[in-house]
Amino acid sequence: MTKITNNKQRDKLLEELGIIWWNDLLKKEEEDPLFSLPRYPKNTKGMTIIGIAPKFPIEEDYLLEYDNPGRPKSILKSTPVITQIAELMLSGEWEPKHYIPPTIEWWGESKFKHHTGHLTKTGAETASKEELYMMVVEFHDEDGKSADYWREIWTSNENDIDGSYVKLLRTDEDIIEQVCKMLAKGKIKADKSFQDDVPTIDETLKDMNITPDPAAVLKNAILLKEGYNDIAIQPFTSTMVAKEIPKYEKKYPDYFFTSTSYSNTSQTKRDYERVLVCCVKFLEDPEKYNEHTMKVLYGAAGGAVNKIDALRKEKQNLTAEEAVRNLWDSIATKEVKSGHKFGMSYVPIKQKKDDPEITIIK
């Protein structure tokens, strides 16, 4: 459901509810060097702050029934947090300006949609409070994504780590559940191969401020849960790939194994580091460590999981000369003396679900 916009009606209602307009607060901050703004969400796409309602009535006459798309799983463990909030309010130690306030949005007539701050509201009700310090916001389209999309993103991001000392953080389970529901509602799509004009899972996880490596793992879980087995990819971070080495060393004792993992940001650096390791081994014993016996296991992390096939071809075409020009003179000399060629094979760890079991030694 998309809210109805009528700013005159909304503003009249907010005036009656004692709104402090955000623009007035910004102006006061500019004019008075000793004035500091209350805590507020920053760098939030698709959202505009309208103002602060310091004593917003929390009875049903104003607030619509609340759902919590950003914490569908962890909310079940919320009782200790609610209790702590209620105790702070009862003792007079609750300082609302030190928290990002609960956010509400006018939804037509006298009703507001409650986006975040459910536990704060429940804590206030537990403490028999009738009013709550609230932030009034409004969502809009941005970056080619709808206001409804940014509402969903905000409910998740508000529950990320932000330094609050009374807070129930979102979990991986929460993120997976929320993104799956967004897929089911058609708010987002699995990937760019789908023609719908909505964001992809990758874009959504990025907008949720999730970094590439965990995002790759979450994406795989989401795709498998929603039945997209044909495009699900099991990403391997550098740590995960490194753990595979003992298994291969035991199976192939005459070969030398090292490992890496590829992401958009660190691929070149990791390539170089692995090649250096192999250079040292070759210079140490070219008869034992050479193009036939050195193997680099690799996985893909973050955004690189969407380019698995391209990465595999790239690894096949990679030449050691490109990565270790500064060592090439000594490598070439050792090749001549030993009669062995320097090189290594890049071997992908199994990633796509339909891949056969890898046999790395042909």
Q: Please report the pLDDT score of residue 181 as a whole number.
A: 94
Judge if 220 and 272 occupy the same domain.
no
Closest CA to 129 of 88, 167, 81, 79: 88
pLDDT at 307: 66
Query: Mind listing the pLDDT tens digit for each residue in 16-28?
Result: 999 999 999 999 9
Output the six-digit token pair for 310. Answer: 């391209």
Same domain, 164 and 225: no
| Neighbour count for residue 302 (Cβ, 10 Å) | 24
Checking if the pLDDT of 313 tops 80, the result is no
Predicted confidence band at 302 (pLDDT cuts at 50, 70, 90)?
low
Residue 333 lies in a domain: yes
Q: Considering the domain boundaries, does residue 360 fall inside one?
A: no
CB-CB contact of 170 with 210 (8 Å): no
Same domain, 76 and 208: no
11 and 64 together in one domain: yes
Neighbours of 40 (CB within 10 A): 16
Q: Are 154 and 242 found together in one domain?
A: no
Residue 207 lies in a domain: yes
Q: What share of the chain is helix, strand, coil (3-state, %, to 5)?
A: 45, 15, 40
Round to whole Å and give the CA distance between 56 and 133. 6
Q: Helix or strand or coil: residue 42?
A: coil
Work out the average pLDDT over 141-164: 88
Do 255 and 225 fall within a single domain? Answer: no
- If asked whether residues 141 and 25 sit together in one domain, one would say yes
Number of domains composing the chain: 3
- Do 207 and 289 fall within a single domain? no
- Number of Cβ within 10 Å of residue 7's Cβ equals 11
Q: Which domain holds residue 180?
A: 171-229
Whether residue 149 contacts residue 188, with contact meaning beta carbons closer than 8 Å, is answered with yes
- pLDDT computed for residue 242 by the predictor: 84
Looking at the fold, whether 109 and 178 belong to one and the same domain comes out as no
**Of 159, 194, 229, which residue sits at a domain end?**
229
Q: Which residues of 163-175 are buried (b: 16+ CB within 10 A; e: fewer)?
A: eeebbbebeeebb
Say whether both 146 and 197 belong to one domain.
no
Q: Model pTM? A: 0.71
Please check whether residues 39 and 146 belong to one and the same domain.
Answer: yes
User: Do both 285 and 155 map to the same domain?
Assistant: no
